[in-house]
Amino acid sequence: MEGTVKWFNGKKGFGFIKGDDDEEYFVHHSALAQGTFIRDNDRVSFEPVEGERGKQAQNVTLLEKASEREETEEKEETEEKEE
């Protein structure tokens, strides 16, 4: 499944992902591949699982950084205005 990081606190090591199914999934830093860092609004893929305390994201992989998505959107808007 894919989704967007709603928020992630690197110091505390956890946060939430909003899945493309509109559900929220808890994500713990242990669910990230070694060397992977996620930030708010990053696009990620993950395996949804039902944990003891609710929905959780496992095997989280970064697909696209939020900053890269914003640059792409700004470029597309500029190109549309020029046409």
Give the pLDDT confidence score for residue 78 in this predicted structure.
Answer: 55
Which CATH number does the domain housing residue 55 bear?
2.40.50.140
Q: For residue 10, what pLDDT is reported?
A: 92
Percent of the chain with pLDDT over 90: 71
Which one has a higher pLDDT value, 22 or 73? 22
For the segment 33-60, what is each residue's pLDDT rounded down to a tens digit?
888 899 999 999 999 999 888 999 999 9
Q: What is the span of the domain harbouring residue 49?
A: 2-82
Annotate 15-51 with b (16+ C-beta within 10 A) or e (fewer). bebebeeeeebebebebbeeeeebeebbbbebeeeee
What pLDDT shows up at residue 81?
A: 59
Q: What is the mean pLDDT of residues 1-28?
A: 97
Query: How many domains would you assign to the chain?
Result: 1
